[in-house]
Amino acid sequence: MSNNVRSALVKAFNLSKYYRVSLSMFKKTLLKAVDNVNLTINEDEVLGLLGESGSGKTTLGKMLVALEEPTSGKILFNNEDLKEYVRKRRIDIQMVFQNPDTSLNPRMRVGEVLQEALEASNFNGDYSDEVERLLNDVGLDSTYKHYYPHQLSGGQKQRVAIARALAVKPKFLVADEIVSALDASVKMQILKLVIKLQKIYRFSMLFISHDLPTTVYVSDRISVMYSGKIVEEATKEELIKDPLHPYTRHLIASIPSLYSSLFNGKAQKLKDVSNELQATTPVGGCKLFSRCPYATEICKALEPPEVSVSKTHKVFCHMYVR
Amino acid sequence: MSLIADLLPLSNPLVGDLSKTLRPPEPNHVLGTDELGRDLLSRIVYGTRVSLTIAFIGATLGCVIGVMLGLISGYFGGVTDFMVMRVVDALLSIPSILIAIALVALTGPGVINMIVALAVGLTPTYVRLVRGVVMQTKNLEFVIAARLLGLSSVRILTKHILPNISYVIVAQYTLDLGVSILFAAGLGFLGLGVQPPTPELGSIIGSGKAYMSIAPHVIIYPGIVLAVLVAGFNLLGNALRDVLDPTSKVMYE
């Protein structure tokens, strides 16, 4: 699938989101949640966005669904300005959230939730049939439409949330850590479901996760994010075979040993440093400087350049090692 | 019982027998008579009805206005929120009994003024309360999902937010009914509320206080009724909050 030439659906240019944070009563600093990010998501493609908590991946996702206004930069959707597009067709861009417990209105039955989504789209047909079809699509039988969210398990709630997002036939779906609140066995079912549905509905997806194996499992391409910046971007095959950035290798080293053998010895642990400190420390050079074993003077002074290793593989590092 | 007062075999609360004033309880007048020889039981039953009506309408009005302002203020935030909250702050800084007295001084005593004073006095609490829970609720994922579906603000507020914060409002409302009864009685006691000869719990106590030493029953019985009413509404409020709280299991069963 990843060999086809596909046209871009979502394009982000120099996208940044800064927050003002108070350190104490008088001290304020700029938190660069997302810092100068370029990103392309093609039609019918799953882009995995991988990063630790606080790396800005959720903020990036929220900007791409127009829930957050970027501080600077530009987002094109279908070659139109995202804000303009959203004004016309809000429903083309949907999101599934991390927490299944708060994703559904506790006062609405599953059927009502889905019907409301259908009413919001241009659907004209039999609502009740379509609700049942949607439930079947996400692997629930039609009796579930009478249930309230509190009568469902976490996995079932997440299935309903996916059905709600797909009810409006979106072009683009942001899946923000959709399996991280679920049990391991349920996690697998939901991942398989998402892959299956992507093939049926043919939407583009940004799959946000902190878990490398999960991201590899679902995505066509993967962007690795660290401290508000994308540090490496590659197809999943390239990333598995040839992880280049020290941070990517660190992530691989952090996978429980059962899986890490997959990545033939490219793992490399980094020094642990407090996250918050990292994001707010104003450094001109590489954000990873203080943690990276390969760091030299140039890393401290200059922002890492974009290095294209292949057509699809980019890494942002001065010292990248093959 | 006050609701069916007209059907009960009670003597007319407005007609007294001046030969039998301030009588202690006796078979003909179970709770005795007041300073104009009117049957006290009958006056209390009718008076409770008047008190309840005023408290009910006043509290409801205050609740509806307060909830609407709170929803708007909490959901939209920004300039709207700022303006609403400054007005609320101003109202909160003045005791509502003072607002009521000022209102009565401006327009004269009466039932309508009492209701308006009550509503104005209760509104700020609802605005604050509702604004707070709306600000929490509007960031929950199901509300964001509703926004992503392009639903209107009115629909999001009424279908997704209001039903999920109603338990807070209901609890506050029942508690406020108790407060309103006290408030209405207080104004009646001060002579600012319902005007004689209409019976009302506060004014019964107010006019009876002059005879406290020779005929204590005239203020003791309406006082007991008042206390029981307020305590009852408070208990009801607590019970309702337990039942309606979405985190408790009692729901939906």
3-state secondary structure of A210: coil
Pick the residue from chain B with its C-alpha nearest to A99. Answer: B141
B150 and chain A: CB distance < 8 Å anywhere? yes
A-chain residue closest to B136, CA distance = A102
Q: Peptide bond before B197: cis, by omega within 30 degrees of 0?
A: yes
Q: What's the pLDDT score for residue B9?
A: 56
Q: Which residues of chain B register pLDDT less than 70? A: 1-37, 193, 244-253
Contact A97 B144 (CB under 8 A): yes
Q: Tell me the C-alpha distance between B118 and A267, whole Å.
A: 70
Domain range for A87 is 3-227
pLDDT at A43: 92
Q: What is the DSSP letter of B161?
A: I
Q: Is B101 helix (H, G, I), strand (E, B) or coil?
A: helix
A122 touches chain B (CB under 8 A): no
Residues A301 and A157 in one domain: no
DSSP 8-state class, residue A305: P
Q: Which residues contact A26 (CB under 8 A, 6 or more apart)?
A: none
Cα within 13 Å of Cα(A26), Cβ side: 0
The confidence score (pLDDT) of residue B247 equals 55
Ranges A1-15, A25-39, B148-162: which has the least confidence? A1-15
Structure tokens at A41: 């998501």
Q: Is the pLDDT of residue A75 over 90?
A: yes
- Contact between B184 and B54 under an 8 Å Cβ cutoff? The reply is yes
* Residue at a domain's end among A166, A198, A227: A227
Gap between the Cα atoms of A83 and A66, Å rounded: 7
**What type of residue is A223?**
S
Are residues A302 and A183 both part of a single domain?
Answer: no
Among residues A168, A202, A227, the one where a domain terminates is: A227
CB contact under 8 A, A103 and B145: yes
Across A150-160, average pLDDT: 92
Q: Is A103 on the interface with B (CB under 8 A)?
A: yes
Chain A contact present for B83, CB below 8 A: no
Q: What percent of chain A has pLDDT over 70?
A: 88
Rounded-to-integer distance, Cα B226 and Cα B93, Å: 28
Q: pLDDT tens digits, residue range A303-317?
A: 888 888 888 888 888
A251, A213: one domain: no
Q: Which stretches within A47-183 are classed as H helix?
A: 57-64, 82-88, 100-103, 110-120, 127-137, 154-167
Token duo for residue A226: 């660290």
User: How many angstroms separate the CA atoms of B27 and A147, rounded?
Assistant: 60
Q: Are residues A254 and A154 in the same domain?
A: no
CB contact under 8 A, A93 and B144: no
* Whole-angstrom distance, CA of residue B204 vs CA of residue A183: 66
CB nearest to A105's CB, from B150, B164, B252: B164
The answer to which of A14-23, A102-111, B91-100 has the lowest mean pLDDT is B91-100
pLDDT of residue A258: 58
Asked if A115 and A143 count as a contact pair (C-beta separation under 8 A), the reply is no
Pair A159, A45 in one domain: yes
Which candidate, A180, A135, A177, A182, places its Cα nearest to that of A159?
A135
pLDDT-wise least confident of A78-87, A274-283, B18-27, B205-214 = A274-283
What are the domain boundaries of chain B?
40-247
Residues facing A319 on adjacent strands: none
Does the pLDDT of residue A70 top 70, yes or no? yes
The answer on A212 and A150 residing in a single domain is: yes
Quote the number of domains for chain A: 2
**How many angstroms separate the Cα of A195 from the Cα of each of A166, A178, A217, A221?**
13, 13, 9, 14
A150 with B252: Cβ contact below 8 A = yes
Q: Which residue from A94, A106, A120 is facing B164, i.e. has the nearest CB?
A: A106
Pairing of strands A8-22, A72-77: antiparallel
| Set of chain A residues whose Cβ sits within 8 Å of the Cβ of B159 | 105, 108, 116
Nearest beta carbon to residue B145 from set A106, A150, A164: A164
Q: Which chain B residues are closer than 8 Å to A108 by Cβ? A: 159
How confident is residue A279, by pLDDT bands cut at 50, 70 and 90?
A: very low
Minimal CA separation from A308 to chain B, in Å: 36
Residue A322 has pLDDT above 60, yes or no: no
Categorize the per-residue pLDDT at A3 as very low, low, confident or very high, splitting at 50, 70 and 90: very low
pTM: 0.80
Contacts (Cβ under 8 Å, ≥6 apart) of A143: none
Backbone dihedral angles phi then psi of residue B140, each to the nearest 5 degrees: -70, 150
Tens of pLDDT, residues A38-63: 999 999 999 999 988 888 899 999 99
Mean predicted lDDT score pLDDT of chain A: 85
B40-247, what's its fold?
MetI-like fold (1.10.3720)
A74 pLDDT above the threshold of 80: yes
- What Cα–Cα distance (Å) separates residue A21 from each residue in A30, A213, A276, A280? 6, 33, 11, 9
CB contact, 8 Å: A120 with chain B? yes
Closest CA to A71 of A13, A20, A28, A16: A16
Are A280 and A29 a contacting pair, CB within 8 Å?
Answer: yes
Task: Closest CB to B149: pick one of A103, A117, A150.
Answer: A117
Residues of B in contact with A161 (CB under 8 A): 141, 145
Please give, rounded to a whole number of angstroms, the shortest distance from the CA of B160 to a CA of chain A: 7
**Alpha carbon distance A143, B129 (integer Å):** 38
Indicate the residue among A227, A251, A274 that finishes a domain. A227
Distance CA A214, CA A208 (A): 10
> CATH number, domain at A201?
3.40.50.300
Q: Which residues does chain B have within 8 Å of residue A85's beta carbon, measured at their own beta carbons?
A: none
B150–A105 C-beta distance less than 8 A: no
A165 and B147 within 8 Å at the Cβ level: the answer is no
